[in-house]
């Protein structure tokens, strides 16, 4: 294993991409980057990361921000529960630890939204602790390196991957070692057409030796996303520059805390009523939007309603188009508004 570590670190020193979160040892900034990078491409994360830290440069600054401000900086990044859990975790850091992310691993693991991977990334990169990590890229590297032929997601596979990661991490520069594994998976040991000829540890790779690189890792069995038919109502009041749109704040897991167009399974009139609004509702949809989530494929009929009336509350408000930049709205909401209003 020492040979693998040495080769990975030498390669990382020469080939690592210049990414903004690699210029800091601030555990808070590293925490932000790792949460953003979950299930999201590096190229997408970079501008969000920079804007987020410009607005919330410290744990205390984020803790003191309201949820709308936080979610507005996350709009378009997806998986919004990440932002809410990061916000909750940072608030606990401020309340319990004076704004300093704890070095103790168990204390980090106890924070809201901090699992084994995030705790290990913070511990190894910020605090130089010998803590392993396993994300999708690392899992692929280790599955090929150690020829793990059980399906990703199976409990036996997960245990084996963490064991292999734990065997590699002890030694100097554990944070760089973990980042080298992630970097290798992102740039060379890719899911398709991996660049084995350029891999620094090809000589130690059991999958490469047995010509099984393309067969590993064994993918988890995924069900196709379920098709769900929904209706969304873009309810407006006023005309021209004075026109505003009613949005509601949802509490469902996927879009909880975000402002969105009233939407549900069922008839448009029922959707409008459930939102607490009265309006002149068109009899036919003016468009259709398809939106694919991890487990669901939403097919949404979009209706336009005018002269909408309702009582504003913490969960129901009228917004001018320019107001949407300061609150959290999802990509789906923007698609629905564009479909109905052409913006």
- Residue 146 and residue 189 in contact, taking contact as beta carbons nearer than 8 Å: no
User: Known catalytic residue: 197?
Assistant: no
Q: Cα 238 vs. chain centroid, distance in angstroms? A: 36
How many Cβ atoms from other residues are within 10 Å of residue 43's Cβ? Answer: 7
Per the rule left: phi > 0, alpha: psi between -120 and 50, beta: everything else, 307 is: left
Total residue length of the chain = 343
Helix axes 42-55, 27-37, angle to 10 degrees: 140
Catalytic annotation, residues: 34
């Amino acid at each position: 294993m020492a040979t693998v570590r040495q080769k990975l670190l030498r390669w990382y020193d020469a080939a690592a991409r210049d990414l903004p979160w690699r210029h800091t040892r601030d555990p808070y900034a590293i925490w932000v980057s790792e949460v953003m990078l979950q299930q999201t491409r590096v190229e997408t994360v970079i501008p969000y990361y920079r804007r987020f830290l410009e607005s919330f440069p410290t744990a205390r600054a984020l803790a003191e921000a309201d949820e709308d401000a936080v979610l507005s900086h996350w709009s378009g990044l997806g998986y919004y529960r990440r932002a809410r859990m990061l916000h909750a975790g940072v608030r606990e850091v401020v309340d319990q630890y004076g704004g300093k992310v704890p070095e103790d691993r168990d204390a980090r693991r106890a924070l809201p939204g901090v699992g084994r991977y995030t705790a290990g990334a913070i511990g190894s990169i910020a605090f130089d602790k010998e803590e392993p990590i396993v994300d999708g890229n690392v899992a692929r590297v280790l599955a090929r390196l150690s020829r793990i032929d059980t399906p990703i997601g199976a409990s036996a596979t997960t245990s084996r991957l963490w064991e292999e990661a734990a065997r590699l991490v002890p030694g100097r520069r554990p944070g760089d070692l973990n980042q080298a594994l992630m970097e290798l998976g992102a740039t060379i040991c890719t899911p398709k057409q991996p660049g084995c000829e350029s891999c620094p540890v090809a000589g130690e790779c059991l999958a490469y030796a047995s010509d099984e690189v393309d067969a590993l890792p064994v993918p988890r069995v995924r069900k196709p996303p379920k098709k769900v038919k929904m209706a969304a109502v873009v309810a407006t009041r006023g005309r021209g520059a004075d026109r505003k749109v009613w949005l509601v704040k949802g509490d469902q897991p996927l879009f909880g805390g975000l402002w969105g167009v009233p939407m549900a399974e069922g008839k448009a009139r029922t959707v409008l009523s459930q939102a607490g609004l009265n309006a002149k509702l068109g009899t036919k949809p003016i468009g259709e939007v398809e939106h694919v989530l991890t487990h669901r494929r939403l097919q949404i009929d979009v209706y336009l309603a005018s002269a909408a009336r309702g009582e504003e509350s913490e969960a129901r408000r009228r917004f001018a188009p320019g107001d949407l930049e300061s609150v959290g709205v999802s990509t789906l909401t923007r698609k629905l508004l564009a479909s109905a209003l052409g913006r």
